[in-house]
């Protein structure tokens, strides 16, 4: 059993993160497995190295432990770009410079609807002096959802939630196509890749058997199942946990405290107190 805690360093960790970490590391320990830490920092427009350091410090303080080395996604843009290139190669993805709104308004893309994988990969050229590039693209890349569903028509597209319920991902994806909503973006224009590709790629690469994450990501799961199936990657078991609903956070802010873990620590709370507060 292998799970992971995969925060994005877009700010300081707060009580909600303490809950998510407790769920993931706790699950690993309870199942006599392990929990990895993965830093999901591909969004270079929002993530900061200082926040990454804060994650290590806060998790250490809370008493969690993880195997080293930690995978830091911003060092692996090319890995994710190669997945997108493979989907372009198979005609399952296409460049699109229009926003969801423009597509909804019926605008037609001016770009040719095809892009060669090599042309796409050229945006990720690694410079010798820039080991951690900050890629961007002149357009986004969208997954051709209808075609992807056609390609996987003979397959089940399901996932197991909490070891018992088998959830059908296909129905949600077919409803997406029928609704006429824009196709999902698998490479953002501003960062050249996307969360959906990076998270599924790394879960596969790291042989994650159980994905423990917040209920806020439940709606994203059908797309992840589709990407796994298209790429021939196994689908892990999912445990979407409840989010923080206790009002401690509110009470603390009323007392003038912010709920970031570092400020709770500086205000004299112990790790045990913070972990006790971090429950749904
Ligand atoms: N990095 C994502 C977040 O911070 C979590 C990804 C996941 O657990 O699948 O929301």
* Domain match, 33 and 59 both: yes
39 and 95 in a single domain? The answer is no
Residues 160 and 184 in one domain: yes
Q: Is residue 273 part of a domain?
A: yes
Domain presence at residue 212: no
Q: How many domains does the chain have?
A: 2
Q: Does residue 187 sit in the same domain as residue 95?
A: yes
Using a 6 Å cutoff on CB, does residue 249 contact ligand 1? no
Q: Is 229 in the pocket of ligand 1 (CB under 6 A)?
A: no
**Which of 2, 5, 6 has most ligand 1 atoms within 8 Å of its beta carbon, as the pocket-test mutant?**
6
**pLDDT computed for residue 112 by the predictor:** 58
Domain of residue 86 covers 77-198
SS3 35: strand
Q: Is residue 49 part of a domain?
A: yes
State the closest ligand 1 atom to the C-alpha of 213, by its place in the atom list counted from 1: 8
* Pair 139, 86 in one domain: yes
Residues 22 and 112 in one domain: no
Cβ of residue 177 lying under 6 Å from some atom of ligand 1: no
| Angstrom distance (rounded) from CA 55 to CA 59 | 6
Is 13 contained in some domain? yes
pLDDT at 85: 97
Structure-derived torsion over alpha carbons of residues 6, 9, 13, 15, reported in degrees to the nearest 10: -50
Ligand 1 close to Cβ of residue 115 (< 6 A): no
Question: Could you give the count of Cα atoms lying within 13 Å of 41 in the half-sphere of its Cβ?
Answer: 23
Bridge partners of 272?
Answer: none
The pLDDT score that the predictor gives to residue 248 is 64
Please report, for the domain that includes residue 172, its CATH number.
3.40.50
91 and 194 share a domain?
yes
Q: Average pLDDT for consecutive 10-residue bins of the chain (280 residues)?
A: 97 95 93 95 96 98 96 94 97 89 73 83 72 82 97 96 93 96 95 97 98 97 98 98 76 67 95 93
Q: What is the dihedral of CA 87, 89, 91, 96, to 10 degrees?
A: 70
Task: Give domain status of residue 218, yes or no.
Answer: no
Ligand 1 atom, smallest distance to 199 CA: 9
Same domain, 45 and 136: no
Is 209 inside a domain boundary? no
Angle at 204 between CA 142 and CA 14, to 5 degrees: 80
Same domain, yes or no, for 107 and 67?
A: no
**Is the distance from CB of 121 to CB of 190 less than 8 angstroms?**
no
Do the domain assignments include residue 250? yes
Same domain, 115 and 157: yes
Distance CA 65, CA 51 (A): 18
Q: Report the CATH number that the domain containing residue 18 is assigned in CATH.
A: 3.40.50.620
Are 59 and 94 part of one and the same domain?
A: no
Phi/psi of residue 103, each to 5°?
-65, -40
* Residues 11, 221: Cα–Cα separation, whole Å: 24
């Amino acid at each position: 059993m292998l799970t992971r805690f995969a925060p994005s360093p877009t700010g300081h960790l707060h009580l909600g993160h303490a809950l998510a970490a407790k769920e993931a590391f706790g699950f690993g320990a309870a199942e006599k497995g392990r929990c990895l830490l993965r830093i999901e920092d591909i969004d270079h427009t929002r993530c900061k190295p200082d926040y990454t350091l804060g994650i290590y410090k806060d998790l250490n303080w809370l008493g969690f432990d993880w195997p080293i080395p930690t995978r830091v996604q911003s060092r692996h843009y090319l890995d994710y770009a190669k997945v997108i290139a493979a989907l372009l190669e198979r005609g399952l993805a296409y460049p699109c410079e229009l926003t969801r709104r423009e597509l909804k308004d019926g605008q037609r893309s001016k770009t040719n609807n095809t892009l060669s994988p090599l042309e796409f990969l050229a945006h990720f050229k690694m410079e010798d002096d820039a080991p951690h590039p900050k890629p961007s693209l002149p357009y986004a890349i969208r997954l051709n959802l209808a075609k992807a569903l056609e390609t996987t028509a003979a397959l089940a597209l399901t996932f197991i939630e909490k070891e018992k319920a088998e959830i059908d991902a296909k129905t949600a994806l077919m409803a997406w196509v029928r609704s006429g909503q824009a196709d999902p973006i698998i490479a953002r224009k501003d960062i050249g890749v996307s969360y959906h590709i990076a998270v599924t790629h790394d879960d596969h690469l790291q042989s994650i058997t159980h994905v423990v994450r917040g209920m806020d990501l439940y709606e994203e799961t059908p797309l992840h199942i589709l990407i796994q199936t298209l790429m021939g990657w196994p689908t892990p078991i999912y445990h979407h946990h409840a989010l923080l609903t206790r009002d401690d956070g509110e009470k603390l802010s009323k007392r003038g405290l912010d709920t970031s873990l570092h400020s709770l620590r500086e205000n004299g709370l112990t790790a045990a107190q913070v972990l006790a507060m971090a429950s749904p």
